[in-house]
Amino acid sequence: MERYSKLGLPVLVGGLLLFIFAMKSFVNIGYGEEISISDLAVKIANIVGFKGQIGFDSLKPDG
């Protein structure tokens, strides 16, 4: 993300399902509260200092 931020390139959020299915175990990113993928992406971007644009691939089943 840092490279994209420095270059001013947008980041496309997607592929999470591919990542999860490639793993043999579950990844729990929850903490008892629901949060949308877009809100999570914004929170992560803020934490890592990403200043670029975040996009979502609406052609994928989970956007």
- Euclidean distance between CA atoms 9 and 32, whole angstroms: 33
Confidence label for 56 from pLDDT (cuts 50, 70 and 90) = confident
25 vs 60, residue with greater confidence: 60
- Segment 38-60 shows an average pLDDT of 86
**Residue 13 C-beta-side C-alpha neighbours within 13 Å:** 18
Q: Which two tokens stand for residue 55?
A: 């996009």
Model-wide pTM > 0.85: no
Kindly report, residue by residue over 9-42, the tens digit of the pLDDT: 777 766 555 555 555 666 666 667 787 888 888 9
Q: What pLDDT, on the 0 to 100 scale, is given for residue 46?
A: 92
CB-CB contact of 14 with 60 (8 Å): yes
Checking if the pLDDT of 63 tops 70, the result is no
